[in-house]
Structure 1
Amino acid sequence: MFIQRRLYHLSHIDLDGYSCQLLTSYIFQNRKFYNANYGKEVLFRIDEIFEDIEKLERGEKVFLLITDLNLTIKEAEYIDSKVKQSPYNIHLQLLDHHITGAEVAEEFSWYYMNTDKSATKITFEFIQKNFPFPKESDKIAKFVEAVNAFDIWLQDSEHFEYGKVMMRLIGSARELARTMFAEEDTYYKLELLKGAMEIYNDESIEKKHIYLDDQIHYLKKRFFRGNREDDTIDNLMTNYIVELLEKRKEELTIRYKGYKGVLTYMIGSISVIGNAFLTRNSDYCFFLDVSNKGNISLRANGDVDVAVIAQEIGNGGGHSNASGGRVKGMREFYRYGDVKKFIENLLIEKEYTTDLLLPQSESN
C-alpha cells in the first residue's frame, strides 16, 4: 500500500505550512518533517532529505511531499533530476496554491497548484482521495476550514477570525531555535495546532476565537511543562531547552585556550538559558550564542572572563560574566554543524593571534 511508504515532508514555516504537516502526521507513522522559508533554504532542505533517504535500505519506498512552497523552474528541475537519478523508489508530489508557480506547474506532472484553496485544504483533499482518514476527520475538516479562510483571506467566512488567531499562535511560537532543534520545533508547533483544533471543536465554547486568544499562553505552557511540576513559562521553557542542550552537549562543545564552552545558534534568552546550563553543567566554563548576523552573546559563571573572549573573537566586551560582540564573515546557516565549523575555525585563528586568556579570579 502507498501508505506504507516512508514520508519525507517539506513544508513552509507558517500556519498553512505546519497545518499541512499536521494532516500527514495522522496518516504516516514512518515520517520525517522538514521546514523551509523561501530562497536558498529550499534546496538545502531538499539535499538534506536526500542525504536521509540514502541512509535507508535500497528496497524501501519513499513518498517525498512538498507543501505550501512554490518553486522556481531551476528548483523544480533540480528536484526532478534528483528523484530520477536516485536508486530509490521515490514518489514525488508538490501541493501548493501560489500563482507564481503556474509556469512550473505546467512543466512537471508532480507539481499540483490550485490558487483557490490554501495548501492545507489541498493537502486535506489529497489525503481524503488517497488514504483512509482517521476517526477525527470531522474535527480536522473544521480546523482545515479555519486555516483556509485565513490563508486565502476569506474575511466574510465564519472561520476567518479563528484562523487569524491560529496564525498568531504559530507566528509567536519562537521559543525553540529552528536550526538547532528542527524536529522539536516542528513537534511543538504541531502540538499547539492540535490544542487549537481541540478548542475549535469544543461546542461548549461560544466565542472560540477569543477563547483561543486567551489560551495561547496556556497551550505553550502545557507543552513545556510536560510531566514537570508547575512553574512559570520562562522556567519551564528554560528547563526544556537546557535538557535538549544536555542531550547533545558533546556535539555542542567548543574550546578556546583550554576553556570548555558550549555553542548555540540563534537560541535567544541567553541570560536565563546560558546561566541555567552553566549552573547544571559545572564542567563548562562559558556559553556562546551566535546569530545569523554574527552577533555573539557570552555568559560565564566565574570560571573565565568572557569580556576578554568577546574582545578577542568579536571586537566586543562587557562584563566578566556577560558580554557580547560581533564576528566577521558570518552568514545564515541552515544546519548547526556548519555554524560550529565556522566558529571553531574562528576560535583556532584567534587562539594563536591573541594574548593568553586569564581566568576571572586572576584578572580581577
Structure 2
Amino acid sequence: MNTYHLYHLSHTDLDGYGCQLVTQHYFENISFYNSNYGKEIEERFLEILEEMEKRKAAKNLVLITDLNLTVEQCEILEKELQNASVEARLLLLDHHKSGQDSYENHPWYLLDDTRCATKITYDFFSALYTPDTALSRFVDVVNAVDIWLDQDSHFELGKVGLGLVANAREINRIMFAKPNSHYLLTLLQSTQAYFDQPSPHIALDEAIHGLKKRYFRADKPDDTLSNLVSSHMVSLLTRYKERMSISYKGHKGILTYNIGNVSVVGNDFLAANPDFDFFMDVTSRKTVSFRSSGKIDVSKMAKALANGGGHPNASGGMLTTFKDSFVYDRVLSQVKEIISKNEEK
C-alpha cells in the first residue's frame, strides 16, 4: 500500500498530527491536510480532489483520521470520488462514538472508541508493514492523554504534547498549510528525544522554547523567538508573494489572512520587498489592517474599502461583506472582488 500517493486529512490537535507522524513513517508520497470539524472538512476534501486531479498518480489513497464524519458528509465524499477522473481508495480511521451511524453504513469507515486515532492508525499500518519501537512509544503517549488515561505513566508527557500542538501557532495554517504541517511534525518528532530523560514531561516542557527557536533559527544568528518567527514569516511571504499579490489603483500589495503581529511582519516584509507598496491583512472577524512604506496613503485606502482610517502608513477598518473561508485562495478572490468593485465606482 505504500506504493500509493497518500492524501492524509486529519484533525488539528495532538491526536490529529500524531496520525500524520505515523503515516510519514510508513509512506514516501504524502500530501497532508488538516481540518477542524464541520464545513472545513468538505473544503479540504475538495482541495484533495483538485490535487489528485493534477497529480494523476496511478494509485491513490485518501485517508481521513481523527475526524468523525456525518452520514451526509460520507455520501458527499463517496460521490465526489466516484466522479473524479482518477481512481482512489478511501479509508477513515477514527475513535469518536458520534460517528457510529456513518461507521455502520460505510465499509471504509473504521471506528474504535477504545483507542485514540493515532494508535488506530499505527496499529493498522504497523500490522501491514514493520512495527517501530520508538514510534510505538510516541503513540502510547498520545493515547494516554487523548483518551484521558490519567493513571498511565505516559499521561503527564502527553499533556505537554497536547499543549505543544495547541500553542504552536507561529505559522498560519490557512495561508501556509504545508510549512505549518512540516513545523508541527518536526516538533513532534523532536519530542521523542526527551522520553528517556528523568521526569520526561518536565524536561520536554522546559525544552519547547528551544525546540521552536531551533526550527526558526536554521542558519540565522541567534535572536528572540518572536524575531526569528517574524523573519521566517517574511521569508515565507516573500517566497509566495506573487501568488498572494493584489493591486489597488496602480499600487502593488500583498494580502495576508490572520497573520498576527501586523506592524512588525508588515513593515519587515515591505522593507525586504521594495517592489510592493502596501501590506493588507484581513481576519476571520472581518477586520482589516493596512501598512505602507510611504508609497501609498493607506488611510485613504482603508476609508474607501473598509470604512476605516488611521495614519498614512498604518490604518485599519472592517470589510463588512467579507465571508470567512478555510481556503486562502477564496479569501484572496473575495478581497480582489471587493477592490475591483470599489475601483469601478
State the 1:304 CA deviation.
1.8
Instruction: Tell me which residue corresponds to 2:160.
Output: 165
Distance 1:132 1:56, change over 3 A: same
Equivalent AA in structure 2 for residue 189 of structure 1:
L
In structure 2, relative to structure 1, the CA distance for the partners of 1:236 and 1:102 (3 Å cut) is: same
User: Which amino acid in the other structure matches residue 62 of structure 2?
Assistant: L
**Mapped contact 2:6–2:60 kept (Cα < 8 A):** yes
Question: Paired residue for 1:337, among 321, 329, 333?
Answer: 329
Residues 66-124 of structure 1, C-alpha deviations (whole Å, 9 max, x = no match): 00000000001111223334343322110000000011101011100000110001011
Checking the alignment, whether the CA contact within 8 Å between 1:3 and 1:131 is kept in structure 2 is no
Q: 2: CA distance between counterparts of 1:259 and 1:127? A: 52
Q: Which residue of 1 aligns with 2:13?
A: 14
Q: CA deviation at 1:168?
A: 0.7
Q: Equivalent residue for 1:178?
A: 173
CA RMSD of aligned residues (A): 1.3
User: Contact 1:146–1:163 (CA<8 Å) still a contact in 2?
Assistant: yes
Q: What is the rounded CA distance, in whole Å, between the counterparts of 2:80 and 2:234 in structure 1? A: 38
Aligned to 1:357: none
Aligned to 1:26: 25
**Number of residue pairs the alignment of both structures matches:** 345
Partner of 1:359: none
**Does the 8 Å CA contact 2:144/2:154 hold for their aligned counterparts?**
yes
TM-score, length basis structure 1? 0.92
CA distance in 2 between partners of 1:212 and 1:139 (Å): 16
Match of 1:76 in 2: 74
1:55 aligns with 2:54: yes
Q: What residue number does 1:113 align with?
A: 111
Report the Cα offset of residue 249 of structure 1.
Answer: 1.2
Deviates more, 1:121-130 or 1:220-229: 220-229
| Amino acid in the other structure paired with 1:231 | D
CA distance in 2, matches of 1:310, 1:325: 6
Relative to structure 1, is the Cα distance of residues 313 and 168 closer, same or farther in structure 2, using a 3 angstrom cutoff?
Answer: same
Question: CA separation in 1, counterparts of 2:82 and 2:328?
Answer: 29
Secondary structure, aligned partner of 2:55 = coil
Match of 2:248 in 1: 256
Shift of 1:154: 0.7
2:4 aligns with 5
Q: Report what 1:146 is aligned to.
A: 141
Aligned partner (choices 289, 300, 303) of residue 297 of structure 1: 289
Larger-Rg structure: 1
Aligned to 1:358: none
Q: In the TM superposition, what is the alpha-carbon distance from 1:256 to its structure 2 partner?
A: 1.0
1:5 shift after superposition: 0.7
The residue that corresponds to 2:186 in the other structure is 191
Q: 1:130 to 1:89 in 2, by over 3 A?
A: farther
Provide the C-alpha distance between the structure 2 equivalents of 1:102 and 1:197, rounded to a whole number of angstroms. 34
Return 5+ residue gaps in structure 1 as ranges: 354-364
Q: Which residue of 2 aligns with 1:129?
A: 127
Q: Are residues 1:94 and 2:89 paired?
A: no
Amino acid at match of 2:141: A
Which piece of structure 1 moves more, 278-287 or 82-91? 82-91
8 A contact 1:293–1:331 mirrored in 2: no
Structure 2 residue matching 1:16: 3-state secondary structure: helix
Q: Counterpart of 2:128 in structure 1: which amino acid?
A: N
Runs ≥4 residues deviating over 6 A: none
User: Quick one: which amino acid aligns to residue 100 of structure 1?
Assistant: S
Determine the C-alpha separation between the residues in 2 that align with 1:84 and 1:262: 38
> For 1:323-361, what per-residue CA distance to the aligned partner results, in whole angstroms no more than 9, with x for missing partners?
1111012122122221111111111222243xxxxxxxx
Write the letter of the residue equivalent to 1:42. I
Q: Which runs of 5+ in 2 are unaligned?
A: none
Question: Which residue matches 1:347?
Answer: 339
